[in-house]
A and B are shown apart, each in its own frame.
Chain A
Amino acid sequence: MESWLVISAIIAAYLGLTLWVGLRAGRGTSATVDGFVAGDRNFGFLVMYFVTGATVFSAFAFLGGPGWAYSRGAAAFYILSYGVLGMAPWYVIGPKAARIGRQLGQVTQAQFLTGRFQSRGLSLLIALISIAALIPYITLQMRGAGIVIEAVTDGRVPLWAGAAVAYGIVLIYVLVSGVSAVGWTNTLQGVFMIVIAWSLGLYLPHALYGGIGPMFDAILTERPELLELPGLNATGAPWTWAGYSSSILISAVGITMWPHLFMKAFTARDEQIIRRTVVWFPTFQLFLVPVFLIGFAGVLFVDSIAQADFILPYLILNVELPVIVVGLFCAGALSASMSTGDALMHATASVAVEDGVRPFVPLGEAQQRLLIRTFIVVFGAVGYFFAVSEGISLVVLLLTSYGIIAQLAPPVVAALFWRRATTLGAIAGLLAGGATTLLFFFWPALKPIDLHEGVFGLAVHVLVLMLVSLLTPAQDRARVEAYVNPPAQAAPPTH
């Protein structure tokens, strides 16, 4: 049998298994908005662990991670540095947000924020920011899936068809089972990603160089600049320490503020599960080690490649690997793409309805669920349109959106810990921080130093939030205490 047929069969088997798991996942969930968006707040530790890990590590990490190590060397280590730093505060914030969400019936980040800072305008603003940041992210995942399938089938299954098949399946299981499908498929996909990344990360250096140590010895002799911090920038010149350090800072602040991750706080069965997920997150973070080893394996083996992100499929196809390994790699890459893509599509549609529409138009339960499902299809179609269109710099859009998403951190922290914060302060801070980030993104020459534009945005944001809050009347005491000092969680029901 021709190798591309074997690979296609493995992909088909993997996709079939994912669909089966996704469809079965929603069977015990109630037919309510709470069920569709927050899984009836009943996710256990195993599912939460994989939801968090597999959602964080997307096609961007699986393909972009090796690409960065290959083309920018030590610069890639910033990705390794921010994950645990960013997740650690979630040990405190996550359970507190979950408790408040449970008490006030919230299922989205904007509902959480507007529970303290009551404003329909703020809800709409957060919805718009979230959707603008999430759509490029969805597009990247779809494109990643299409690229991998096109590469390993030698172009017989083109990008548009690969992306359509993979995301057609995502669409079916998310539409049918909601967030429960996201949870259980991410568990399957998380296992795939970890096993395949570690297998390839250990195998490729051995196959090409005789081991990890000899591989780095060889790179040190030929390309020593690649292994010295802070690595290289996109043009191949040395990256600045300011750029490297501020990328760690802004990513650490932004990581848990992504709506598709933040909203998962509302899916956990109890607060202890969120804490345990944070405690065990570093084990998922170590997944980046083999991912980088794969990229470094390409340094002396591949002279140049048009797009660094293709280094992993390129190596896979040019090292004499058994065809079944190539097929499994493909399943791993699809897992990385789909496990993030499904959460993104689900979150984007939920945010659009719950935060963009419902504050303005009263909707019944059934209407909300129908509208969320409709928006899943709409945003899926928009993402797909961009994914198959050429010439749009999505990576740039995504990096900018990190700066914007990080702007959600100050109001979240203020809502939970600062009694004197006010609605006007929160709105003014968000507008000022977002505008500053966009200003320095579009006119980088205006930056006083080479820091990530989101850092300037955060500095302005915090200042404006504090000043405007102090200049406006304090909030009603009961509302403040419901957030700063929420009543203890009731014991979970026993089954």
Chain B
Amino acid sequence: MSKRVIRRIAIGVFVLNMLAVTWPVATLFRSPEPQILGLPQSMAWPIAWVLIGWIMLLVLDHFENKDPGD
């Protein structure tokens, strides 16, 4: 996959992240139930996005380093 595509995907993921943790999308996950791994859903949702953001950054960095001159 080209760097250009990965960069676009990364921008898309962080835009999704912004939408997911703010109104109105976050209202879908406002409830504490169900609990996920013992945590209320309302807390697990932003944690999940920290993890998604981390994975995206790892993937982006991997592709950026494959051929730094590109």
Contacts and interface: CB of A to CB of B under 8 A. Distances in A.
Given A245-B22, A249-B22, A289 B54 contact: no
Interface in A260-279: 272, 275-276, 278-279
A85 B56 CA distance: 12
A379 B47 CA distance: 37
Contact of A84 (B39, B49, B61): B49
A77 interface: yes
Interface in A44-62: none
B25 to A, nearest CB: 10
A393 interface: no
Label chain A's interface by main secondary structure.
helix
Contacts of B24: 241
Contact of B54 (A224, A228, A282): A282
A77 B43 contact: yes
A230 interface: yes
B64 A275 contact: yes
A282 B57 contact: yes
Interface residues of A, number: 38
Interface residues of B, number: 34
Given A91-B57, A245-B23, A85 B18 contact: yes
Given A88-B53, A248-B22, A282-B51, A216 B32 contact: yes
A292 interface: yes
Given A244-B23, A276-B61, A292-B43, 12 more contacts: A77-B46, A220-B32, A228-B32, A229-B29, A229-B42, A241-B27, A244-B26, A245-B23, A249-B22, A279-B57, A282-B51, A286-B50
Interface string A375-419: 000000000000000000000000000000000000000000000
Most buried by B among A228, A229, A248: A229
Contact of B42 (A228, A276, A285, A286): A228
Interface of B: 10, 14, 17-18, 21-24, 26-27, 29-33, 35, 38-40, 42-43, 46-47, 49-51, 53-54, 57-58, 60-61, 64-65
A245 B35 contact: no
A224 B58 contact: no
Chain B residues touching A, majority SS? helix
Nearest to B65: A272
Contacts of A283: 54
Contacts of A275: 61, 64
Contacts of B29: 229
A226 to B, nearest CB: 9
A216 B21 contact: no
A438 interface: no
Question: Which 6 residue pairs across A and B have the least CB separation, nearest first?
Answer: A213-B38, A227-B32, A282-B54, A245-B22, A84-B53, A241-B23
Interface in A204-236: 211-213, 216-217, 220, 224, 227-230
A29 interface: no
B26 A245 contact: yes
A74 B40 CA distance: 10
A84 B10 CA distance: 13
A136 interface: no
A3 B13 CA distance: 51
A278 B54 CA distance: 9
Contact of B30 (A85, A228, A285, A292): A228
Contacts of A220: 32-33, 40
A81 interface: yes
Contacts of B60: 91, 279
A276 B43 CA distance: 27
B21 A81 contact: yes
Contacts of A84: 17, 49-50, 53-54, 57
Contacts of A289: 47
